[in-house]
């Protein structure tokens, strides 16, 4: 069930997109807590809170939709890539990552969300879907711009930022 | 948050399967994707946490049971499969999922893997394969390439061809064999769901990159490709494996056969049994 | 001359059927109300090897062989010298051999035993289908005074599925033997049958251990075949399904014990059976069972070691590994049955204890008990059941390893909502969460030790008999010859105390001290080369100044005569 053809499906995508974004940010925050990287942990927590807010907004929209939402399995969502587009990429993380990297990761995620809604707005023949997709795309665009400004406050870290001064230790 | 939407979209319930323990895994580890997919699969199947048991051995990936809210058993190195078999045979109503890594499953636990394939107890076996021992600081595992020189234990490489888990599973008569990629959690969740629902021993090799000791595995994202088409024909499955570059994903083989079932007999009471020992003039 | 105990052996090779003959005689004697024991000695071949069935029949309970034989029947002499150490003959013994089977070996001649001839092989030609082993049964039964109708009924029962022709031939063979007996005189016949107010049980120690497990509530077994424990596995494979349980044949002992742990984690009382080499492989998982507090029972039917050792013969040399075989501080239950009947009771008790204390229990049986078949009084029935302290449904803030006063915290089983936890071999907190903190580590070590300190094990920790100042202290299968040795000494007027320890770990130190009160001379008896039992006791208690050790390795069993000699020696040393 395509999000560009069915409003219920579109709304389900919108809710899950934010839900998974929040989940991923929390995972990343936990990982940073484990690695004693509190600055980035705090940043990811903040991103998770933003996603929670957007999730709540998406749910409000969804609840106004009389037709109900389809019960899609995780793999039945039509995402452009391997997972929902606003989920921070696992492979972009590193235990020594700086706020600069974390914001880059978030920027990539928000750009993904913008592209997702923008694509639907362009492609859909369904006016209510287009209206919402345009609205959501605009919001994501704002997030992108905000993140860009935010990133500008952080200097790009030196090239050797990921030097392992304390090499890995044996655990088990 | 308990809105109508939460009920309609079942996968939103996947957080119910996540415990509040923070994983000890390195940031960027593929196992996060596996945990994510697993919780989604359990939510999609609407399992009750108390009726699921995750059984693991030793290694990074073997820590996964405690990161979920289901029952777990984090046993000793290499023995997840027999632990899981004992539980699954004696409590067939439970959903039993054995998990672990390539060292745990194919090296120290290799013999159990072969016989678990043959025995076909109804359970799922998820192996997070990163071709390295993570918790002991990065030694070669059975699936490591022979020319990998990244370990102090084998500084000139292993001089051994890597083991092929799917070929092994097929040869040992596992009835369900699949491969998936940790960083495609939705597709992984689909394959897990099929594996869990399969009546019998279902084996899934999950390519799960190690960011710390094999950072080059981040490139796997570009190498994995879908390609296996489920078949119940062993010859076709072997043929598919002969063309496999190690990165083909999907369900390779699905050939249901009766799952392991212990002997059944009419019930007898202990006195009747004891009578067999008795003699009288 | 009537005797209250007769010892005899049948030897033969190449499928001559001496084991079947021996069992027929034992079963027939049991039917008549006698007690008895049959042990076996065999060559290394799977089929056609030389074999000896050694029997003792008695009007009173016996569970060990005598020091000598009254009667030896040889169907042939092929490689019979293998048994020369074990088949002790003297001037009072009678040897019956087939003159057609070649030279009588020197060791027989040298023994001084009287020789008689019966042409077993030639006799088989007289009736179509007759067999030498059945002729021997008829002969021996007649010679020692077993009631012929009971012998015939036993043969019919054993052959009931073999068809009328075979049964007729066997009965005719018995007759040939009975007739052949007519001309012979034996040194002793069995005294009149004992008054029988209860039936006899015919059972092996291995069957008894299986029965004890089922009585205790074991419903799952995973096992890997290994001599001499395989019969426990076979018995459980046949009978567990009758109680809704099952046996899984595992790929190795690592798998079998882990399967048991998996089943027990799910709430099903579980047991495995093995012998030394398999036990060595299980040690790792026993440590896990201790740490994760999963009950499990392992019956180790001991054989000669180390390594492959002597698979078909007994030794009591697994005590060290049973008690201490684990890395880390891992106290566990170790129990030892001291008779074939006690294999039922002690295994049942082990199941009860393991479940009650949520910890592994090792039962140290041995080949001498496990593979011997005995005619015994029915073992007492007892109430020990698997009763695990469980966490009930809808738990809040459940902590699997809560620091309970008695050390035993309620266990949640899969299926119990709110009890979800991850059992682990890692050191952990009360919540089961892994922890490397010294405080958590010690708290859980203390908790696990407390189980053993606070549990009331009752009087069953040992069998104590008599109150002399000379004490024989032993465990497991050597208790039987010790019992007989003590009886012989008492018959000579010397009061001897016998202490046989059933609960080896935790050792009930205070109770043992009390049992040794006023002990002047102590004789420790064990079937091990290194004196493992002696060393173990010394590590726990102050033994009397006059302590002596009778320790010898397998494969020859310590007999009552060896123990009598050791008691006499220490008595004389004291006098000198």
- Whether residue C258 and residue B79 make contact (CB cut-off 8 A), yes or no, is yes
| pLDDT averaged over every residue in chain B | 96
Same domain (yes/no): C305, C363: yes
Closest approach of C430 to chain B, Cα-based (Å): 14
- Whether residue C246 and residue B53 make contact (CB cut-off 8 A), yes or no, is no
User: Which parts of chain C sit beneath pLDDT 70?
Assistant: 1, 574-576
Quick check: A14 pLDDT over 90?
A: yes
Residue C64's nearest CA partner among C29, C26, C37 is C37
- Whether residue B82 and residue C243 make contact (CB cut-off 8 A), yes or no, is no
- Does residue A51 belong to the interface with chain B, where contact is any CB pair within 8 Å? no
pLDDT bucket at A43, cuts 50 / 70 / 90:
very high
- Whether residue A170 and residue B135 make contact (CB cut-off 8 A), yes or no, is yes
- Whether residue B74 and residue C426 make contact (CB cut-off 8 A), yes or no, is yes
Q: What is the DSSP string of B167-194?
A: HHHHHTT-SEEEEEETT-HHHHHHHHHH
CATH classification at residue C570:
3.40.50.920
- H helix runs in C272-398, sequence order: 276-292, 319-324, 340-357, 367-370
Show the tokens assigned to C424: 């682990």
- Whether residue B5 and residue A71 make contact (CB cut-off 8 A), yes or no, is no
Task: Using the 3D structure, point to which of C331, C353, C376 is the last residue of a domain.
Answer: C376
Residue C412, CA distances (Å) to B213, C214, C264, C343 in order:
38, 23, 12, 31
Q: Which chains does chain B touch, 3 or more C-beta pairs < 8 A?
A: A, C
Same domain (yes/no): C364, C406: no
Is C195 inside a domain boundary?
Answer: no
Q: In what side-by-side order are the strands of the sheet with B225-226?
A: B225-226, B248-254, B176-181, B201-207, B123-129, B95-101, B52-56, B71-74, C422-424
Residue linked to tokens 């069935």? C53
Is C314 inside a domain boundary?
Answer: yes
Closest approach of B225 to chain A, Cα-based (Å): 11
- Does residue C83 belong to the interface with chain B, where contact is any CB pair within 8 Å? no
CA within 13 Å, CB half, C27:
23
Is C528 inside a domain boundary?
Answer: yes
Quick check: B6 pLDDT over 60?
A: yes
C22 within 8 A of C53, measured Cβ to Cβ: yes
Is C48 inside a domain boundary?
Answer: yes
Q: Is residue C525 helix, strand or coil?
A: strand
CA distance C427 to A78: 45
CA distance C392 to B69: 18
Same domain (yes/no): C275, C237: yes
Closest approach of B28 to chain A, Cα-based (Å): 5
Give residue-wise pLDDT tens across range A101-155: 999 999 999 999 999 999 999 999 999 999 999 999 999 999 999 999 999 999 8
CA distance B238 to A127: 50
Same domain (yes/no): C339, C225: yes
**Domains contained in chain C, number:** 4
Handedness of CA C204, C206, C211, C216 (dihedral sign): positive
pLDDT at B1: 47
Give residue-wise pLDDT tens across range C112-128: 999 999 999 999 999 99
Is C264 inside a domain boundary?
Answer: yes
Is C382 inside a domain boundary?
Answer: no
Same domain (yes/no): C26, C159: yes
Tell me which DSSP letter residue C15 carries: S
Which B residues in the span 3-22 are in contact with A, Cβ-Cβ below 8 Å?
3-6, 8-12, 14-15, 22
CA distance C332 to C292: 13
CA dihedral A48→A54→A56→A62, nearest 10 degrees, is -140
Residue linked to tokens 């974390």? A102
pLDDT bucket at B173, cuts 50 / 70 / 90:
very high
Task: Using the 3D structure, point to which of C341, C376, C411 is the last residue of a domain.
Answer: C376
SS (H, E, C) C177-220: HHHHHCCCCCCCEECCCCCCCCCEEEEEHHHHHHHHHHHHCCCE
Is C364 inside a domain boundary?
Answer: yes
Same domain (yes/no): C445, C352: no
Same domain (yes/no): C16, C140: yes
Containing structural domain, residue C244: 202-376
- Does residue C373 belong to the interface with chain B, where contact is any CB pair within 8 Å? no
- Does residue C341 belong to the interface with chain B, where contact is any CB pair within 8 Å? no
From chain B, the residues in CB contact with C30 under 8 A are: 279
CA distance A98 to A78: 32
pLDDT at C179: 96
C191: number of Cβ within 10 Å: 17
Within chain B, how many helices (H) and strands (E) appear?
A: 10, 9
CA distance B281 to A59: 84
Same domain (yes/no): C246, C367: yes
CATH classification at residue C360:
3.40.50.970
Handedness of CA C118, C121, C122, C123 (dihedral sign): positive
Q: What is the DSSP string of B118-143?
A: HH--SEEEEEEE-SSBTTTTSB--TT
Percent share of chain C, pLDDT over 90: 92
pLDDT at B2: 58
Residue B225's φ and ψ, nearest 5 degrees, are -150, 145
Residues whose CB falls within 8 Å of the CB of residue B79, separated by 6 or more in sequence, listed in order: B57, B109, B112, C254, C255, C258, C285
Residue C341, CA distances (Å) to A92, B120, B277, C22, C486 in order:
68, 39, 12, 20, 20
Same domain (yes/no): C30, C170: yes
Interval B217-241 mean pLDDT = 97
Please tell me which residue of chain C has the smallest CA distance to B119.
C250
CB pairs B-C closer than 8 Å = 198
pTM for this prediction:
0.96
Percent share of chain B, pLDDT over 90: 95
- Whether residue B75 and residue C248 make contact (CB cut-off 8 A), yes or no, is no
Same domain (yes/no): C313, C372: yes
Q: Which helix (H) or strand (E) is C107 found in, with range?
A: helix C106-111
Same domain (yes/no): C394, C370: no
Give residue-wise pLDDT tens across range C176-235: 999 999 879 888 889 988 777 789 999 999 999 999 999 999 999 999 999 999 999 999
CA distance A90 to C331: 45
Is C405 inside a domain boundary?
Answer: yes
Q: Which helix (H) or strand (E) is B38 found in, with range?
A: helix B31-44
- Whether residue B112 and residue C150 make contact (CB cut-off 8 A), yes or no, is no
- Whether residue A15 and residue B5 make contact (CB cut-off 8 A), yes or no, is yes
- H helix runs in chain A, sequence order: 7-34, 38-64, 99-123, 127-152
pLDDT bucket at A170, cuts 50 / 70 / 90:
confident
CA within 13 Å, CB half, C37:
24
Which B residues in the span 167-196 are in contact with C, Cβ-Cβ below 8 Å?
none
Closest approach of A53 to chain B, Cα-based (Å): 12
Give residue-wise pLDDT tens across range C430-489: 999 999 999 999 999 999 999 999 999 999 999 999 989 999 999 999 999 999 999 999
Closest approach of B206 to chain A, Cα-based (Å): 15
Q: Which of B72, B79, B273 sits opposite C423 (nearest CB)?
A: B72
- Whether residue C292 and residue B265 make contact (CB cut-off 8 A), yes or no, is no
CA distance B172 to B165: 10
Closest approach of A20 to chain B, Cα-based (Å): 9
Task: Using the 3D structure, point to which of C404, C420, C455 is the last residue of a domain.
Answer: C455
Same domain (yes/no): C320, C407: no
- Strands (E) in C4-50, as ranges, are 5-12, 35-42
CA dihedral B136→B139→B141→B143, nearest 10 degrees, is 130
CA distance B38 to B249: 17
């Amino acid at each position: 069930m395509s999000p560009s053809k069915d409003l219920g499906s579109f709304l389900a995508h919108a809710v899950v997109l934010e839900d998974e974004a929040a989940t991923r940010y929390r995972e990343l925050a936990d990982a940073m807590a484990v690695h004693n990287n509190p600055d980035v942990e705090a940043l990811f927590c903040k991103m998770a809170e933003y996603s929670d807010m957007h999730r709540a907004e998406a749910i409000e929209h969804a609840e106004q939709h009389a037709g109900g939402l389809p019960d899609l399995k995780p793999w039945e969502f039509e995402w452009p890539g391997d997972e929902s587009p606003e989920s921070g990429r696992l492979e972009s993380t590193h235990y020594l990552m700086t706020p600069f990297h974390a914001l880059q990761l978030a920027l990539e995620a928000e750009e993904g969300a913008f592209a997702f809604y923008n694509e639907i707005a362009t492609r859909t023949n369904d006016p209510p879907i287009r209206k919402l997709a345009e609205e959501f795309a605009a919001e994501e665009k704002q997030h992108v711009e905000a993140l860009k400004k935010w990133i500008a406050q952080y200097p790009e870290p030196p090239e050797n930022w990921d030097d392992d001064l304390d090499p890995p230790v044996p655990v088990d | 948050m308990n809105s109508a939407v939460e009920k309609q979209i079942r996968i939103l319930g996947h957080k119910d399967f996540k415990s509040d323990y923070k994983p000890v895994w390195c940031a960027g580890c593929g196992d996060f994707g596996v945990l994510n997919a697993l919780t989604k699969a359990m939510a999609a199947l609407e399992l009750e946490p108390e009726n699921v048991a995750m059984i693991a051995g030793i290694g990074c990936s073997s820590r996964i049971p405690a990161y979920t809210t289901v029952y777990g058993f984090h046993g000793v190195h290499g023995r997840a499969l027999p632990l899981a078999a004992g539980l699954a045979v004696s409590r067939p109503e439970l959903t039993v999922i054995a998990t672990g890594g390539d060292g745990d499953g194919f090296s120290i636990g290799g013999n159990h893997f072969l016989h678990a394939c043959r025995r076909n107890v109804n359970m799922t076996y998820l192996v997070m394969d990163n071709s390295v021992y993570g918790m002991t600081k990065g030694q070669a595992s059975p699936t490591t390439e022979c020319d990998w020189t990244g370990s102090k234990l084998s500084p000139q490489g292993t001089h051994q061809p890597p083991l092929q888990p799917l070929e092994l599973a097929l040869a040992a008569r596992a009835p369900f064999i699949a491969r998936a990629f940790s960083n495609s959690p939705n597709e992984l969740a689909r394959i897990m769901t099929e594996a869990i629902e399969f009546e019998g021993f279902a084996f899934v090799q999950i390519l799960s990159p190690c960011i710390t000791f094999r950072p080059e595995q981040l490139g796997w994202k570009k190498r994995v490709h879908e390609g296996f088409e489920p078949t119940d024909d062993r010859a076709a499955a072997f043929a598919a494996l002969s063309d496999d570059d190690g990165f083909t994903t999907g369900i390779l083989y699905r050939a249901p056969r009766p799952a392991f079932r212990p002997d059944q007999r009419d019930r007898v009471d202990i006195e009747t049994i004891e009578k067999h020992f008795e003699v009288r003039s | 001359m009537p005797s209250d105990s007769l010892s005899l052996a049948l030897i033969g090779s190449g499928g001559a059927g001496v084991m079947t003959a021996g069992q027929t005689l034992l079963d027939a004697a049991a039917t008549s109300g006698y007690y008895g024991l049959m042990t076996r000695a065999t060559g290394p071949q799977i089929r056609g090897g030389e074999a000896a069935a050694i029997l003792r029949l008695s009007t009173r309970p016996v569970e060990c062989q005598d020091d000598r034989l009254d009667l030896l029947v040889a169907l042939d002499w092929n490689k019979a010298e293998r048994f020369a150490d074990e088949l002790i003959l003297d001037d009072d013994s009678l040897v019956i051999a087939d003159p057609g089977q070649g030279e009588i070996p020197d060791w027989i001649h040298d023994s001084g035993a009287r020789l008689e001839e019966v042409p077993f092989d030639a006799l088989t030609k007289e009736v179509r289908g007759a067999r030498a082993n059945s002729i021997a049964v008829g002969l021996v039964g007649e010679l020692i005074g077993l009631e012929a109708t009971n012998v015939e009924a036993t043969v019919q029962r054993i052959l009931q599925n073999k068809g009328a022709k075979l049964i007729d031939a066997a009965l005719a063979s018995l007759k040939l033997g009975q007739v052949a007996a007519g001309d012979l005189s034996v040194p002793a016949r069995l005294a009149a049958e004992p008054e029988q107010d209860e039936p006899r049980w015919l059972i092996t120690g291995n069957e008894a251990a299986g029965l004890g497990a089922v009585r205790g509530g074991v419903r799952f077994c995973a096992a890997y075949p290994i001599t001499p424990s395989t019969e426990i596995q076979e018995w459980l494979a046949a009978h567990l399904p009758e109680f809704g349980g099952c046996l899984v044949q595992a790929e190795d002992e690592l798998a079998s014990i882990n399967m048991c742990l998996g089943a027990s984690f799910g709430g099903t009382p579980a047991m495995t059976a093995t012998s030394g080499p398999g036990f060595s492989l299980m040690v790792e998982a026993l440590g896990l069972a201790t740490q994760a507090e999963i009950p499990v029972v392992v019956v180790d039917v001991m054989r000669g070691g180390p390594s492959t050792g002597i698979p078909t013969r007994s030794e009591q040399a697994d005590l060290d590994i049973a008690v201490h075989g684990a890395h880390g501080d891992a106290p566990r239950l170790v129990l030892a049955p001291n008779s074939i009947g006690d294999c039922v009771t002690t295994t049942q008790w082990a199941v009860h204890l393991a479940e009650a204390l949520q910890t592994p229990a090792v039962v140290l049986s041995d080949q001498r008990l496990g593979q011997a078949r005995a005619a015994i009084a029915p073992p007492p029935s007892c109430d020990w059941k698997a009763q695990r302290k469980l966490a009930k449904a809808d738990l809040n803030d459940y902590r699997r390893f809560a620091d309970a006063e008695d050390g035993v915290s309620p266990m949640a089983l899969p299926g119990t909502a709110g009890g979800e936890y991850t059992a682990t071999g890692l050191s952990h907190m009360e919540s089961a969460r892994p922890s490397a903190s010294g405080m958590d580590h010690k708290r859980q070590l203390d908790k696990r030790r407390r189980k053993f300190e606070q549990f009331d094990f009752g009087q069953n920790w040992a069998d104590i008999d008599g109150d002399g100042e000379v004490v024989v202290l032993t465990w497991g299968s050597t208790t039987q010859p010790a019992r007989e040795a003590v009886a012989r000494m008492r018959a000579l007027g010397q009061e001897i105390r016998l202490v046989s320890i059933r609960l080896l770990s935790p050792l009930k130190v205070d109770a043992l001290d009390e049992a040794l009160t006023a002990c002047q001379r102590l004789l420790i008896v064990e079937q091990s080369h290194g004196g493992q039992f002696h060393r173990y006791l010394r590590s726990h208690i102050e033994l009397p100044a006059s302590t002596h050790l009778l320790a010898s390795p397998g494969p020859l069993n310590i007999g009552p005569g060896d123990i009598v000699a050791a008691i006499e020696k220490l008595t004389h040393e004291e006098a000198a």
